[in-house]
Structure 1
Amino acid sequence: MRILILGSGVIGVTSAWYLAQAGHEVVVVERQPGPALETSHANAGQISPGYSAPWAAPGVPLKAIKWLMQDLAPLRISPRPDLNTLGWLARMLANCNHRAYTRNKLRMLRIAEYSRDCLIELRNEIGIEYDHRAQGLIQLFRSQQQLEAAAADMRILDRCGVAYELLDMAGVAAHEPALARVSDKLVGGLRLLGDETGDCYLFTRALARRCEALGVEFRFGTEIDRLLAEAGRVSGVATSAGVLKGDACLVALGSYSPTLLAPLGIKAPIYPVKGYSLTIPITDPACAPESTVMDETYKVAVSRLGDRIRVGGTAELNGFDLSTPDSRRINVEHVVKDLFPGSGDAGAAELWTGLRPMTPDGTPILGATAYPGLYLNTGHGTLGWTLSLGSARYISDIIDGRTPAIDTEGLSINRYSR
């Protein structure tokens, strides 16, 4: 089959890899001049199956009110939210109960664990390099209340067979020695043994080159205008370079997917949740993280990527705004200075912002649609890097008519029509 993949972030490129490996003619269409130049460009660097969880959780509405009032707020909502923002928030809040949280987290873990295994298999197969480390992730707790609240997540991790360790401060420092210097600020952590760290941008660009060697065609600098439907079937896409025809179209456009799908009557509840990151040159390796830590108070991750530190986090609901105000830089910069003082040259840091395509239940949208020939691999939120390989292999199986290696329950867009 000739398959058009719309989008060349990590989701689009990994999808191209598996579909090309299956013998298909693959064309990737992308408006940017190269791969991984939007949301995949400078994310937090986490490959975190163990940390995969929906934002919609019990207690989040109350926490959100407190976050909005913090000086270093991990959440910010536009003072004049539009109807799209309010509608998405309402759907997310409807998932903030124990039953929905457990269901959604189990779905996400199903994809995430599979994805991590796919990544290891791919890495061993082709020897791809991307500043990766496989030393786990530590979820850091600054209060006893946070430590106690982790019990609910640990029960779900047990149910899914995810390896973890609950650590006191001595245990935290054993894995992240630099944190011994700030032990008075922390009470412990939850270490997720199977989580990894890596540069998503380096990985995606390297894999894109491997895709080209397999015959994948990349159409960069090409704006996507609309999907073409003929006799109830999607047959191609209209672009700034003309009409492209294919036997199947795979939408992997992240936050921009709903706009493309809406004219066909497909309502994908994906919201562009804005996040920020800093990339900081390491000046003292002994003061820097060994792998990845997630500060539960500020919802900011700090990762080691070769000779750099990547600090990423915060959530801003303000539509498609991509400005980078200094106030948000302060938010992420505070965490790395507070936990790893003296580790890097913050003055030489690169500030970046991107839009995470978030669904109200946290689970991405994978699979076929009501239109023959149209498939979705989108809505991965903050976990695109974590879920990418598994999602791509899954959708390749769906398009090929093979039975996926993981359960399909609750992964398609049909879950929103119930």
Structure 2
Amino acid sequence: MHDQQDSGQRFAVIGAGVVGLTTAYHLAMRGHQVTVIDQAEAPASGCSYANAGIIAVGHAESWAGPAAPRQMLGAVLGRAPSVKISKLLDPDLWRWGLAFLRHCTARAHATHSDAMARLSRHGRRMLQDLEQATGLDFDQDHDGAYYLYGDRAAYHARVKSLSDGDQGFVPLSASELTQRDPALRAFEGTLRGGLVSSVDSKGDCHRFTQALAEWLQQNTTVTFCYGTSVTGFRRAEGRVQAVQTPSGEIACDQLVVAAGTGTPALTASLGVRPLIYPVKGYSATYTILDDSRIPQRPFVDETNLVAVTRLGDRLRVTGIAEFAGHDSSPRADRAAHLDGYVARHFTGAVDLDGARHWAGLRPSTPSGRPYIGQLRNTPNVWLNAGHGQLGWTMAAGAAQVLCDLVDGVRPAPSDVSETASWLKSA
């Protein structure tokens, strides 16, 4: 166990999701005193609550690319079942969308995707290190994943794009996939091929985050302020000296904002408004009735843009990217979209009638890269936010990168953060 050193600084971390708590873990292991603040009554109550559960290294690719403008146009016209725009006149969406379009060149796509892939691989390694150090159990395994294609041209294009840097991905035909995993016969007739990844993992993000919070309470001096809203900051001499809340001030030497989609509103009073937009994702969770019909590994259906993961005795199915502002309420038609997918492929294998539906807001940047770094105008304020659909994948690695920056050490990997004139980034 790491001894808490008297020389450690007092850190306030805003956000008790998986990003905030892995950040608190790394800070505590380096001897700092940490207070975690969240307006929810328990950890992992937001985007970390019921996400896909895949540590999806193989899906670490920037959405912004040459094909994206056409996809977005399809969403505006209502022709993209997996992408929905419900708040077209939102000024924040237009601000975000114009920046997104600027990143849609082939060169920018390659740069951002490389950074996301490196941070995702690092995140998986750091999660395994954390798992070994703490002994946490969260329905995890590290056996990889499938990436399935129902479109032959898309499959061959993906195979052709594999490079020496894509080690860990093996392309297989549809028949080879079903021979390897008979449960994939549920996709016979529509499956055209896929990749078997050995570099992905799975685990229940909500269960992990709750278990990590308990571990930190029992084994470190990290303290938690749940049900606590941040109303402002007390500043002096260009630094934040305390976080203001309805129940009083929380003094700090350093502040980390890891509040997901709430980050821009919190930092606005500091003169900074990161381009983070809430992209709503949906999930449905089903009790498994027949193990033999559930694929051995989690998978991403790249044609229907749906992710499927077994977590213990439950099947988690996620999909849809909806631009609806800060509205996190689930919609019945979106839930029906997921239920329909499961009914087509897993009728009899899961309890369809007992489905539990959820919607959460993914904190997404135009490039897909998160903001990890230090505010230039307030040097004791740090950001670790904007991980989008890869928050569970990147969290443990992004936390370690941020803590290296706090210590004045050049992180490895480097050059993984989104860049901004107001940010000293990784």
How far has the Cα of 1:152 moved from its partner? 6.1
Q: Residues of 2 paired with 1:203 and 1:231: CA distance?
A: 39
**TM-score, normalized by length of structure 2?**
0.93
C-alpha distance in 2, partners of 1:133/1:316?
30
Provide the residue aligned with 1:165 in structure 2.
Answer: 170
1:7 aligns with: 15
- Give the Cα–Cα distance (whole angstroms) in 2 for the partners of residues 398 and 46 of structure 1: 27
**Cα offset, 1:188, TM superposition:** 0.8
CA distance in 2: counterparts of 1:413 and 1:2, whole angstroms: 27
Report if the CA contact (8 A) 2:285-2:314 is conserved.
yes
Q: Does 1:146 align with 2:151?
A: no
Q: 1:76 to 1:409 in 2, by over 3 A?
A: closer
Query: Relative to 1, partners in 2 of residues 1:153 and 1:237: Cα closer, same or farther, differing over 3 Å?
Result: farther
Name the SS of the counterpart of 1:372 in structure 2. coil
1:281 aligns with 2:287: yes
| Matches for 1:157-306 after TM superposition, within 5 Å | 158-159=164-165, 161-212=166-217, 213-306=219-312
Q: What's the secondary structure of 2:143's corresponding residue?
A: coil
1:72 and 1:331 in contact (8 A); partners too: no
Of residues 98-107 and 122-131 in structure 1, the stretch that sits farther from structure 2 once superposed is: 122-131
- Gaps in structure 2 of 5+ consecutive residues: 1-8
Q: Matched residues in 2 for 1:16 and 1:78: separation?
A: 35
Please report how far the alpha carbon of residue 366 of structure 1 lies from its aligned counterpart in structure 2 after TM superposition: 0.3
For 2:418 and 2:97, the matched residues in 1 are separated by 20
Opposite residue 400 of structure 2, the aligned amino acid is R
223-232 or 38-47, larger mean C-alpha shift = 223-232
Distance 1:175 1:42, change over 3 A: farther
Post-superposition Cα deviations, 1:251-291, rounded to whole Å, max 9, x if no partner, equal 00000100111122112000000011001000111111222
AA matched with 1:101: H
2:380 to 369, 373, 377: 373
Q: Secondary structure at the match of 1:194?
A: coil
* Count of residue pairs the alignment pairs up: 415
Q: In 1, Cα distance between the equivalents of 2:176 and 2:375?
A: 47
Any idea what SS the aligned residue of 2:232 has?
strand
Confirm or deny: 8 A CA contact 1:367 1:413 kept in the other structure: no
CA contact (8 A) 1:366 1:413 kept: no
1:71 is displaced (CA, Å) by 7.1
Instruction: Indicate the SS of the match to 2:366.
Output: coil
- Of 166-175 and 348-357, deviating more is 166-175
Deviates more, 1:14-23 or 1:162-171: 162-171
Aligned partner of residue 56 in structure 1, secondary structure: coil
Query: Quick check: 1:383 aligned with 2:390?
Result: yes
Q: Which moved more, 1:103-112 or 1:174-183?
A: 174-183
Question: Who is 2:349 aligned against?
Answer: 343
Instruction: Give a deviation string over 1:228-259, Cα, whole Å, max 9, x none.
Output: 32211122211122111100000000001001
Change (3 A) 1:417 1:219: closer
Partner Cα distance (2:52, 2:79) in 1: 22
Corresponding residue SS for 2:280: strand
CA deviations on 1:126-183 (whole Å, 9 max, x unpaired) are 221100122212111111121133146423xx33x54101111123224432111331
Distance (whole Å) between structure 2 residues aligned to residue 351 and residue 345 of structure 1: 13
1:227, CA displacement in angstroms? 2.8
- Structure 1 residue identity aligned to 2:108: A
Give the structure-1-normalised TM-score.
0.95
Q: Secondary structure at the match of 2:184?
A: helix
- Structure-2 separation of matches of 1:58 and 1:125: 42
- The DSSP-based 3-state class of the residue aligned with 1:320 is coil
Match of 2:368 in 1: 362
Q: Hey, what's the Cα distance between the residues in 1 that align with 2:167 and 2:396?
A: 18
Name the amino acid aligned to 2:405: I
Gaps of 5+ in 1: none
Distance 1:172 1:70, change over 3 A: farther
Aligned partner letter, 2:373: G
Cα deviation, 1:90-115, whole Å, max 9, x if unaligned, reads 11122112101100011111111111
Identity, in percent, stands at 35
The structure 2 residue matched to 1:104, chosen from 102, 109, 112, is 112
C-alpha distance in 1 between matches for 2:69 and 2:385 = 26
Q: Alpha-carbon deviation of 1:335?
A: 2.3
1:47-196 equivalences under 5 Å are 47-66=55-74, 73-78=81-86, 80-151=88-159, 153-155=161-163, 158-159=164-165, 161-196=166-201
Give the conservation status (yes or no) of the 8 Å contact 1:179–1:339: no
CA distance in 1 between counterparts of 2:141 and 2:254 reads 36
Name the SS of the counterpart of 1:145 in structure 2: helix
Kept in 1, the 8 Å contact 2:367–2:418? The answer is: no
The two structures, once aligned, show a CA RMSD in angstroms of 1.9
Gap change, CA 1:8 and 1:153, over 3 Å in 2: farther
- Corresponding residue SS for 1:347: coil
